[in-house]
Chains A and B, each alone.
Chain A
Amino acid sequence: MKLYCLSGHPTLPCNVLKFKSTTIMLDCGLDMTSTLNFLPLPLVQSPRLSNLPSWSLKDGNAFLDKELKECSGHVFVDSVPEFCLPETELIDLSTVDVILISNYHCMMALPYITEHTGFTGTVYATEPTLQIGRLLMEELVNFIERVPKAQSASFWKNKDVQRLLPSPLKDAVEVSTWRRCYSMQEVNSALSKIQLVGYSQKIELFGAVQVTPLSSGYALGSSNWVIQSHYEKVSYVSGSSLLTTHPQPMDQASLKNSDVLILTGLTQIPTANPDGMVGEFCSNLALTVRNGGNVLVPCYPSGVIYDLLECLYQYIDSAGLSNVPFYFISPVANSSLEFSQIFAEWLCHNKQTKVYLPEPPFPHAELIQTNKLKHYPSIHGDFSNDFRQPCVVFTGHPSLRFGDVVHFLELWGKSSLNTVIFTEPDFSYLEALAPYQPLAMKCIYCPIDTRLNFIQVSNLLKEVQPLHVVCPEQYTQPPPTQSHRMDLMIDCQPPAMSYHRAEVLALPFKRRYEKIEIMPELADSLVPIEIKPGISLATVSAVLHTKDNKHVLQPPPRPTQPTSGKKRKRVSDDIPDCKVLKPLLSGSIPVEQFVQTLEKHGFSDIKVEDTAKGHIVLLQEAETLIQIEEDSTHIICDSDEMLRVRLRDLVLKFLQKF
């Protein structure tokens, strides 16, 4: 059993598991942090961004002039932003049989995999994952396509050139594999390969293994996966949460008794507790608006925003914010808000019950009805007519490189009355803000990550007790910025196996058993002999028939009467020989008693040595050695057949025959 690790990002995993005869891809996350190296794509012509000075090499060579621009001491690529794909060379991705998606954030690389690698398999995901994943992709494509950029920089990627660039460009990994965003056509084609599944539904893969999605509690439709055969169980935990937010709670019980548990997608901010962060978010928002400033919240169009809107719904009256407009701007804002209300079966119990009242599960419906929350596909159009300040704007993209957020940063960045509050933990806020410097706007970092923290992981592992844990290497040591926080790493016994990008991991357990069915007529012919109370054995002679990973023992074909015996039989016609079999032996040899027996039979000078697998009995006088192991016994003596037979018979006395 092997695990091919195609992504180094712990929360945007992409792993391929080879298990029995299947090849299963677990998630295909897209690392978008690469876009931080690019200049933002402004929706409205920005004189500041278009007039940034070019950056050139120290030797004065100016061939990079067009590609690299400098802003406040940082160098950015002036080109269409590009993403860092999962590793494509480590394994032939056309051999992947299925892709299991655990949540909508972890499927953003799907079009690259399904459309460009020869992939012919099936993708499994829940309905909300598909629908919201589609929204995220649609938004991404929209953000990038609506600001066409003629230029696509490539000189800087040259290895010899890259070496000469300043950090962080110099240290960017695998830049040659970075790709531009996919098109809507590719998205549609990729998503058409998804087959929808429900929680706890069992899906057979070629008869070899069964995969089952389980609720993971992190997002609408988010799942963990159990991959099991008759005797082995691998659990894949990705992006799970134990907090009571909007999704269905996490199903922990079904993860029990796993041989291997692959653990990814823990919280990216282990020191920040989401409750505290929500508090911080609300208070900063209130203080800014009270002072006449605007609040900008860069966010994804789905997920935490639902919970934030719910908190604000309860909070705005107490904080005297009832008259402040809240704007949600995204090409998919409308669909996202509406979708959230229709996936009742995927919601937590509390919200599910509201559907029968009948009330919308999320209170943002009421915010929209009362005109407190307004949503727009973009800043163009209706929004510019309705826009009123001070206000709170939720918009994408959290990387601050594309989307409407770019415009608001340009608009509000110069005033210290305004505040940008970062709630998405995926991007370093300082790096995200780098091309906007110098910035007068206040910046507040309130990352809200509801995924498991290390205490919860430790309790989870105690609860489900997997034999082995496999996780990204980042989880096996404290975060580099807080190297003394030994509590911020996975602590389990045996220690977790870690992986990094482009590593192939042999998972530390061997398959030992395979289930074989026996045909009724064959079973009928067996005559078991009881060798121990409760244990009966029988010898079986049969033909093993294997098809579609199912193994069946069938009765051997009757030996055909030798007709004209002279005709040479073709080898392929050979039927198995049903020879008279030697009796089979069972039992174990108690060494002490065996030695006593040897002594009784006249052997002296006996020495017993313990070995790793059993014992060696040395008959020094006879220059003979009896090696007793769990499943074999060897008598080694020099050409004294009589002695060997005597000893053999003594050994056999201790064993049962049938």
Chain B
Amino acid sequence: MDPECSRLLPALCAVLADPRQLVTDDTCLEKLLDWFKTVTEAESSLLLLEENPCLVDLLSHALKFQDVSSRILSFSLRLAGIFAAQENCFQYLQQGELLLGLFGEAGPLGFPAWNVPSVRSGWIQGLCSLAQHPSAEQFLIECGAMDTIFSLQGDSSLFVASAASQLLVQVLGLSLQGRATLQLGLPDGDWPSCAQSIVGYLEESLRSEATPQVTQALKVLTTMFGRCHQPWTEALWMRLSPLVVCLLEKDPVPTAHSLVDLFLSMARSPVFGSSDCDLWVTLAQTLSRLSPMQAGPLALGILKLHVCPQALRTQAFDVLLLPLACVLEAAAQPPGFRSCVYPPGLLDGTGSSLAMADALLASTSSCAGLLCQSLAHLGELQPLPHGPRLWPQAPLLKATVTTLCFCSGSAVPVSSVGGRLCRILAGCVRVQRAALDFLGTLSQGTGPQESVMQVFAILLEYLRSPESSPTVLKKAFQATLRWLLSTSKVCGSNDPGCHTQPFLRELFPVMQKRLCNPCWEVRDSALEFLTHLTAHWEGQPGFRQALLASDMPELAQQLLQDPEAYVRASAVAAMGQLASQGLHATPTGPEHPGAQQKSLLQELLHILSTDSEGFPRRAVMQVFTRWLQDGHTAMAEDLEQFMARVFQVVSRDLDWEVRVQGLELARVFLAQTLGPPDCPYAVALPAAAPPIPPIEVLRTLGRVQLLEFAFRALFDCDRPVAQKSCDLLLLLRARTAPDSGLQGAGGGPDTATVEAALRAWQAGEQGQPLGELVPEVVVAVLRALDLEGLQATLAQSSDHVEQSPRSLLQDMLATVGALGGHEADCY
């Protein structure tokens, strides 16, 4: 331990033990515990206690004086646990019977403070830290803690109950560590007494009629099997499995969620996955016993397993497919004919369709819940590499499209089941969102031509319908984008594919209308969609033609003046994207008098300098950076003047993200001005322009005001800005200083003014002018600045100074001391 901390410790312990000195800040105590944990991990606890007797005093003080505050009591219990985790230290503390006092029946259990949940929690956490070695196991039995641990399982405080459950797992693991499965598996197996009592408790809980108790026992087992993969866990399961399986036979199955968690936790354990144990049979049985809603998460869990019998996988997949199969059935079934035969491919078995149809039609909430769950789970499975082998792409597409038809009211079912389903699902936004999400996921696979046409038709219906809510519309846009891109890939080229061209013709009028929607969310999603679409297809003639024939570029430009900041930001991004490929609206001529349009560049600059919200300004900076990278023609005209204007505006921006973006733009500009770095391995391009001499580079940077911006940013109050500027200046120094030939000319340049300004800026006086930045001065200043040091300081988190243990101890003492001072004042 740091000697300084050691010196502060007695005073701190005294403060903590003093009931008059209230430690009001809990987080200090937590930090203190964390620190002790780190210290004990590095060095011997025993030594620590011997060197700092004040710590033992603090622990025994908590015992002696019952009036000690609940915070300090809880703290002491946890601290004692941390020390006693090492066996020799445990023995040391035991000699003074300190541990027995703290954790035994005569200890805090009888204190009035025991009613405070944090004390009970401290007691459990103390034991949890302590239960690391065989002596601890013995101690737990001898001090009678086991019964208390059992009773705390059902504690009124959820945190305490959960911690008690963790403790039980820890103790059971400790007790059975290294035991042979065979030995335990015998009928009169030799179970250690501690384990025996825990298993007895679990057996009793599993037999209980009270659901909370069963749940607690199942949770303990779930944690146990999830955390510990030792062979003896199998013996534990052998012993408890009959009781657990019994639960499955009850109707309805109690604590279904906990059972699902338990089985999945077991299935993930190598102990059960590889052996011949009957877990797979139990899982199959569970799948068929649980209600469709309960079985969903289990089925998903099974399908996500790496190791699993194929039959079980198929069964689980069927559970997830069943609701969609029912939807298909409801849409197709002729009147008066109830069939269990599903359309080929989705389900070939004869599943319990009646039960499913009942569950689906019971109520709107159950129907929506089941379908949403099924769609979400299937969506999770599709991208998995070890997903179901036969992914029924075509029937799933059909089922999803049918579900969407039901939701929009466009399905015309002939059967009564279909009619009821239509009634339940019509206008159900939840299912619409889930189905559109899943439809998007399905775009990763292919489908028959007819299905793809249906997909585009339903997407168009949703995009077109005034009834689609903004969230549904957003999902519809996302799904549309995914399908458009996937079909164009299938068609072989990056161009809009064979059947997407007609779709685009219908889509654009719809999009135009969406861009004029009074609801800003809709305008925003439409702009985002336009941006993405353009980003993927901007170079393709088919797309360009369709886009230019529409009013969309003009409408998007109009939205640069939208009253909603998010929409303005999206419009900036969209216009940036369109303009980079020459797809933006050309400035209107004299036929629109009075609306003499500014160029887009001017308009974006205007937003950057005047917009009151940060999002549009950030978006503008991103567009400028991209344009500069791509060498966009709009910027090429008078680049230096433009850059100067941008840096001037950005350096005054109040939003730090805009300033960071500004520095990114500066970086790109710098890199382009400097040209490619000298790389010994680079193939020399025959037509490469000769590099510009550093002195010219520095002059250019000075002209565009990049240097002033960067120096100003170096002392920015927002760390990311300063960091970015530091990186930029380091790059500049590396590329200009060594061979600039600028040093030493004329006895050294006069850097005094510049350095004085920098010092003033560092001190927070931004008003100080910088002085003239001639190249020689810049080089000298860059040399003089300790940029590496600054970079290292900035790399550390802003509170690194405050987080050191010493400062923690000092702070705590100071706070309490200050409180005492106030008290004195009062007298």
Which chain A residues have a beta carbon within 8 Å of chain B's beta carbons? 271-273, 275-280, 282-284, 286-287, 290-291, 311, 314-315, 317-320, 446, 455, 482, 484-487
The reply to whether A282 and B419 contact each other, CB–CB distance below 8 Å, is no
With A317-B563, A485-B409 as known contacts, state yes or no: A277 contacts B466, CB within 8 Å: yes
The reply to whether B412 and A282 contact each other, CB–CB distance below 8 Å, is no
With A287-B512, A484-B422, A487-B423 as known contacts, state yes or no: A278 contacts B518, CB within 8 Å: yes
The reply to whether B517 and A271 contact each other, CB–CB distance below 8 Å, is no
Could you tell me the distance in whole angstroms from the C-beta of A459 to the nearest C-beta in chain B?
Answer: 12
Could you tell me the distance in whole angstroms from the C-beta of B630 to the nearest C-beta in chain A?
Answer: 29
The answer for the CA separation of A284 and B464 in the assembled complex, in Å, is 12
Closest to A280 in B: B466
Q: Does B34 contact A (CB under 8 A)?
A: no
Could you tell me the distance in whole angstroms from the C-beta of A275 to the nearest C-beta in chain B?
Answer: 8
| Interface bracket on B | 20 to 34
Closest to A279 in B: B517
The reply to whether A311 and B513 contact each other, CB–CB distance below 8 Å, is no
With A271-B467, A277-B466, A279-B522 as known contacts, state yes or no: A485 contacts B426, CB within 8 Å: yes
Closest to B515 in A: A283
With A290-B551, A320-B561 as known contacts, state yes or no: A484 contacts B412, CB within 8 Å: yes
The answer for the CA separation of A280 and B409 in the assembled complex, in Å, is 19
Contacts of A314 in B (CB 8 A): 518
The reply to whether B518 and A311 contact each other, CB–CB distance below 8 Å, is yes
Question: Which of the residues A282, A446, A455, A487 comes within 8 Å of B518, measured between beta carbons?
Answer: A282
Q: Does B318 contact A (CB under 8 A)?
A: no
The reply to whether B423 and A446 contact each other, CB–CB distance below 8 Å, is no
A-B contact pairs, 13 of them (CB 8 A): A279-B518, A283-B514, A283-B515, A286-B516, A287-B512, A287-B513, A290-B555, A318-B520, A318-B562, A319-B516, A320-B561, A484-B411, A487-B427
The reply to whether A484 and B517 contact each other, CB–CB distance below 8 Å, is no
Contacts of A486 in B (CB 8 A): 419-420, 422-423
The answer for the CA separation of A279 and B413 in the assembled complex, in Å, is 30
The answer for the CA separation of A291 and B564 in the assembled complex, in Å, is 24
Could you tell me the distance in whole angstroms from the C-beta of B560 to the nearest C-beta in chain A?
Answer: 10
The reply to whether B419 and A283 contact each other, CB–CB distance below 8 Å, is no
The reply to whether B512 and A279 contact each other, CB–CB distance below 8 Å, is no
Closest to B554 in A: A290
Contacts of A277 in B (CB 8 A): 466
Within 8 A of A (CB), among B541-572: 551, 554-555, 558, 561-564
The reply to whether A446 and B517 contact each other, CB–CB distance below 8 Å, is no
Could you tell me the distance in whole angstroms from the C-beta of A476 to the nearest C-beta in chain B?
Answer: 15
The reply to whether B467 and A273 contact each other, CB–CB distance below 8 Å, is yes
The reply to whether A487 and B422 contact each other, CB–CB distance below 8 Å, is yes
The reply to whether A484 and B516 contact each other, CB–CB distance below 8 Å, is no
Going nearest first, the 6 A-B pairs with the smallest beta carbon separation are A276-B466, A283-B516, A487-B423, A286-B516, A280-B466, A283-B513
The answer for the CA separation of A50 and B41 in the assembled complex, in Å, is 102
Contacts of A273 in B (CB 8 A): 466-467
Closest to A489 in B: B423
Contacts of A272 in B (CB 8 A): 466-467
Could you tell me the distance in whole angstroms from the C-beta of A288 to the nearest C-beta in chain B?
Answer: 10
Most B C-beta atoms less than 10 A away, residue of A273, A283, A315: A283
Q: Does B468 contact A (CB under 8 A)?
A: yes
Question: Which of the residues B427, B466, B522 comes within 8 Å of A446, measured between beta carbons?
Answer: B466
Contacts of A287 in B (CB 8 A): 512-513, 516, 551
Could you tell me the distance in whole angstroms from the C-beta of B527 to the nearest C-beta in chain A?
Answer: 13
Contacts of B520 in A (CB 8 A): 318
Contacts of B513 in A (CB 8 A): 280, 283-284, 287
Q: Does B465 contact A (CB under 8 A)?
A: yes
* Sample of 11 more A-B contacts, CB < 8 Å, known A275-B519, A320-B558: A279-B517, A279-B519, A283-B513, A283-B515, A283-B516, A283-B517, A287-B516, A484-B413, A484-B419, A487-B423, A487-B426
With A271-B467, A277-B466, A487-B423 as known contacts, state yes or no: A318 contacts B563, CB within 8 Å: yes
Which chain B residues have a beta carbon within 8 Å of chain A's beta carbons? 409, 411-413, 418-420, 422-424, 426-427, 465-468, 512-520, 522, 551, 554-555, 558, 561-564
The reply to whether A271 and B409 contact each other, CB–CB distance below 8 Å, is yes
The reply to whether A318 and B426 contact each other, CB–CB distance below 8 Å, is no
Contacts of A484 in B (CB 8 A): 411-413, 418-419, 422
Closest to A323 in B: B594
Closest to B551 in A: A290
The reply to whether A485 and B422 contact each other, CB–CB distance below 8 Å, is yes
Could you tell me the distance in whole angstroms from the C-beta of B743 to the nearest C-beta in chain A?
Answer: 58
Contacts of A279 in B (CB 8 A): 466, 517-519, 522
Interface majority SS on A: helix, strand, loop or mixed? Answer: helix
The answer for the CA separation of A283 and B558 in the assembled complex, in Å, is 14
Question: Which of the residues A282, A482, A485 comes within 8 Å of B516, measured between beta carbons?
Answer: A282
Could you tell me the distance in whole angstroms from the C-beta of B409 to the nearest C-beta in chain A?
Answer: 6
Closest to A277 in B: B466
Contacts of A317 in B (CB 8 A): 563
Contacts of A286 in B (CB 8 A): 516
Contacts of B561 in A (CB 8 A): 318, 320
Could you tell me the distance in whole angstroms from the C-beta of B510 to the nearest C-beta in chain A?
Answer: 10
Could you tell me the distance in whole angstroms from the C-beta of A377 to the nearest C-beta in chain B?
Answer: 30
The answer for the CA separation of A568 and B475 in the assembled complex, in Å, is 97
Closest to A484 in B: B412
Contacts of A283 in B (CB 8 A): 512-518
The answer for the CA separation of A277 and B518 in the assembled complex, in Å, is 11
Contacts of B420 in A (CB 8 A): 486
Contacts of B563 in A (CB 8 A): 317-318
The answer for the CA separation of A276 and B413 in the assembled complex, in Å, is 25
Contacts of B555 in A (CB 8 A): 290
Could you tell me the distance in whole angstroms from the C-beta of A435 to the nearest C-beta in chain B?
Answer: 28
Could you tell me the distance in whole angstroms from the C-beta of A68 to the nearest C-beta in chain B?
Answer: 38
Could you tell me the distance in whole angstroms from the C-beta of B428 to the nearest C-beta in chain A?
Answer: 10
Could you tell me the distance in whole angstroms from the C-beta of A250 to the nearest C-beta in chain B?
Answer: 21
Could you tell me the distance in whole angstroms from the C-beta of A267 to the nearest C-beta in chain B?
Answer: 13
The reply to whether B517 and A282 contact each other, CB–CB distance below 8 Å, is yes
Could you tell me the distance in whole angstroms from the C-beta of A597 to the nearest C-beta in chain B?
Answer: 47
Could you tell me the distance in whole angstroms from the C-beta of A358 to the nearest C-beta in chain B?
Answer: 25
Contacts of B465 in A (CB 8 A): 276
The answer for the CA separation of A274 and B513 in the assembled complex, in Å, is 17
Contacts of A311 in B (CB 8 A): 518
Contacts of B514 in A (CB 8 A): 283
Closest to A284 in B: B513
The answer for the CA separation of A487 and B562 in the assembled complex, in Å, is 39
Most A C-beta atoms less than 10 A away, residue of B426, B558, B562: B426
Closest to B594 in A: A323
Could you tell me the distance in whole angstroms from the C-beta of B187 to the nearest C-beta in chain A?
Answer: 60
Contacts of A278 in B (CB 8 A): 518
Contacts of B468 in A (CB 8 A): 276
The answer for the CA separation of A27 and B563 in the assembled complex, in Å, is 44
Contacts of A487 in B (CB 8 A): 409, 422-424, 426-427
The answer for the CA separation of A271 and B408 in the assembled complex, in Å, is 10
The answer for the CA separation of A314 and B516 in the assembled complex, in Å, is 13
Could you tell me the distance in whole angstroms from the C-beta of A320 to the nearest C-beta in chain B?
Answer: 5
The answer for the CA separation of A277 and B467 in the assembled complex, in Å, is 8
The answer for the CA separation of A284 and B561 in the assembled complex, in Å, is 19
Could you tell me the distance in whole angstroms from the C-beta of A632 to the nearest C-beta in chain B?
Answer: 47
Could you tell me the distance in whole angstroms from the C-beta of A462 to the nearest C-beta in chain B?
Answer: 13
The answer for the CA separation of A280 and B519 in the assembled complex, in Å, is 10
The answer for the CA separation of A487 and B364 in the assembled complex, in Å, is 12
The answer for the CA separation of A434 and B520 in the assembled complex, in Å, is 37
Contacts of B419 in A (CB 8 A): 484, 486
Contacts of B515 in A (CB 8 A): 283
Contacts of B516 in A (CB 8 A): 282-284, 286-287, 319
Contacts of B422 in A (CB 8 A): 484-487
Closest to A290 in B: B551
Could you tell me the distance in whole angstroms from the C-beta of B345 to the nearest C-beta in chain A?
Answer: 26
Contacts of A320 in B (CB 8 A): 558, 561
The answer for the CA separation of A282 and B420 in the assembled complex, in Å, is 35
Most B C-beta atoms less than 10 A away, residue of A284, A286, A455: A286
Contacts of A455 in B (CB 8 A): 427
Could you tell me the distance in whole angstroms from the C-beta of A333 to the nearest C-beta in chain B?
Answer: 24
The answer for the CA separation of A318 and B468 in the assembled complex, in Å, is 21
